[in-house]
Structure 1
Amino acid sequence: MFELSQSFYFEAAHTLRRPAVGQAEAKGSRRIHGHTYTAEVTVRGARDAATGMVVDLGVLRAAIAAVREQLDHHFLDEVPGVGTPTLENLCVFIHAQISQRVPQVHSVSVQRKSSGDRCVYTPSQA
Structure 2
Amino acid sequence: MKFEISQQFFFDAAHTLHREMDAEGSARIHGHTYNAEVAVAGPVTPETGMVVDLGHLRSLLEKIRDRLDHRMLDDVAELGHPTLENLCLFVAREVAISGLNLTRVSIWRNGIGDRCDLRFE
Write out per-residue CA displacement over residues 22-78 of structure 1, whole angstroms, 9 at most, x where no aligned residue.
Answer: xxx111000000000000001111111211111111110111000000000000000
Q: CA separation of 1:93/1:14 partners in 2, compared to 1, >3 Å: closer, same or farther?
A: same
2:114 aligned with 1:117, yes or no? yes
2:13 aligned with 1:12, yes or no? yes
Runs of 4+, deviation exceeding 6 Å:
none
Instruction: Return 5+ residue gaps in structure 2 as ranges.
Output: none
Q: 1:72-111 residue pairs with structure 2 within 5 A?
A: 72-111=69-108
Give the CA deviation at 1:103.
1.8
Structure 2: distance between partners of 1:98 and 1:39: 13
Q: Give aligned-pair identity as a percent.
A: 50
Structure 1: distance between partners of 2:75 and 2:89: 16
Give the CA deviation at 1:80.
2.0
Counterpart amino acid of residue 90 in structure 1: L
SS in 1 for 2:112: coil
Aligned length, in residue pairs: 120
2:46 aligned with 1:49, yes or no? yes
Taking structure 1 as the reference length, the TM-score comes to: 0.91
Instruction: Return 5+ residue gaps in structure 1 as ranges.
Output: none
Structure 2: distance between partners of 1:90 and 1:57: 22
Taking only aligned residues, the RMSD between alpha carbons, in angstroms, comes to 1.0
SS in 2 for 1:11: strand
The answer to whether the 8 A contact 1:60-1:102 is kept is no
SS in 2 for 1:118: strand
2:7 aligned with 1:2, yes or no? no
Give the CA deviation at 1:102.
4.5
The answer to whether the 8 A contact 1:16-1:29 is kept is yes
Taking structure 2 as the reference length, the TM-score comes to: 0.95
